[in-house]
Amino acid sequence: MITQYKLALIGFGNVGQGLAKILSDKYSFLKDKFGVDIRIVAVCDLYKGSLADPKGLDPAMLLNHIELHGDLKSFGEINTDWDAKETITKSGADILVELAYTDLKTGEPALSHVKQAMNNGMHISMTNKGPVALHFPELKRIATKNKVQMGIEGTVMSGTPSLNLACEMLLPAGITKIQGILNGTTNYILGEMEAGADYEDALKQAQELGYAEANPAGDVEGNDAAAKVVILGNLLMDLSLSLSDVDCMGINKLTADDIKQATAHNKHWKLIGTVEITQTGYLASVKPEMLTNEHPLAAISGATNAITYSTELMGDITLIGPGAGRLETGYAIIEDILTIHKNSH
Ligand code: HSE
């Protein structure tokens, strides 16, 4: 049996385009193998324009149009003048894919979008860390009240299944500590600087490759990694962390000389996020650490992320995989949809 899922996308930047590429290449595979007929029925992007078609928009056509025109504004009659709120109410979608820019101070505008959608009976898939890091308990309550599901796999380690895998298979083993490289942009920059690149050039490359946040200050100052520490601690350790509970320092104070010194001593600077249960409560931090070559996280390069989950029953389990990128984060939405599908049947 095939189940149809109609998606409304809020935001059509890197992640939305990554999702469109996956659907354009894998639509039939996903339908035949997993029984999901996934269609994008509406796209609403503040800058690129809005369009909708209840039968489904051809994802390849969306990508071609962006390539040719840089926006989605000249399609003719399928173009709408809907804003995000109207897209939620008028598109007939059953899953809201929230990809608006991340705001780690208020979570807006994504927070309002996901609340409105869940109160309208829509499931959610979001890669946007703002609402999850700031308002997870409230969002869970709204999801439960409306009997809808909230997919958040892409908020940590992009499509690498750091949350689903841990929730389903590692929680029973008793997670006591989580430590990892949680930000792809900074790991990429640090690697490029080790190879001799200038900080600004490395950051520019990370932006071009689609790793960095719309405002990359969130990456280099450590706030993006801190948001992921909060998400991991709250989801996997039942903590009630806020961003202010994370002792946070970014990589922006590291100099080219610091990097050179470390390399000369066979060491590597890495931005490490940690959340740990202690006898008196918890410890949560993000800070640059100089690791020796022998450290398991020292060899993690480029935009790759890694998390070591320390557990009571299984000891340490390390997951290594992509932490950012268009296709990699777009794939997280496919995982969310497959999870929604599995839980609904
Ligand atoms: N800017 C983030 C990173 C994207 O570089 O890891 C993925 O959350």
pLDDT tens digits, 306-328? 999 999 999 999 999 999 889 99
Q: Does residue 134 register a pLDDT over 90?
A: yes
CATH of segment(s) 164-322: 3.30.360.10
Tokens for 67?
């390539």
Which of the following is catalytic: 6, 21, 228, 270? 228
Q: Mean of the pLDDT values across residues 28-47?
A: 97
Q: Mean of the pLDDT values across residues 53-62?
A: 97
pLDDT at 230: 98
Residue 25, number of CB atoms within 10 A of its CB: 13
Query: How far, in Å, is the centroid of ligand 1 from the Cα of 2?
Result: 34
Contact 206, 303 (CB under 8 A): yes
pLDDT at 291: 96
- The DSSP element (H or E) to which 43 belongs, if any, is strand 36-45
How far apart CA 86 and CA 114 sit, in angstroms, is 13
Class of domain 3-159+326-344 (CATH, top level): alpha beta
Ligand 1 pocket: which residues have CB below 6 Å? 158, 183-185, 211-213, 219, 224, 323-324
Query: How far, in Å, is the centroid of ligand 1 from the Cα of 92?
Result: 31
Determine phi and psi for 281, rounding to 5 degrees: 155, -105
pLDDT-derived band of residue 184, with 50, 70 and 90 as boundaries? Answer: very high
Active site residue 228: yes
- 194: which residues sit within 8 A by CB, 6+ positions away? 259, 262, 263, 268
The pick from 155, 219, 229, 300 for probing ligand 1's pocket by mutation, whose C-beta has the most ligand atoms within 8 angstroms, reads 219
pLDDT at 214: 83
Q: Give per-residue burial for 257-274: e unless 16+ CB within 10 Å, then b.
A: eebeebeeeebbbbbbbb
Q: Mean of the pLDDT values across residues 153-178?
A: 97
pLDDT at 213: 85
Domains 3-159+326-344 and 164-322 share a fold: no
pLDDT at 276: 98
pLDDT-derived band of residue 160, with 50, 70 and 90 as boundaries? Answer: very high
Query: How far, in Å, is the centroid of ligand 1 from the Cα of 241?
Result: 20
Q: Mean of the pLDDT values across residues 29-35?
A: 98
Q: Mean of the pLDDT values across residues 258-275?
A: 96
Q: Does residue 24 register a pLDDT over 90?
A: yes
Q: Provide the residue ranges of all domains of the chain, joining segments of one domain with +.
A: 3-159+326-344, 164-322
Residues above pLDDT 70, as percent of the chain: 100
Reduced to 3 states (helix: H, G, I; strand: E, B; else coil), residue 109 is coil
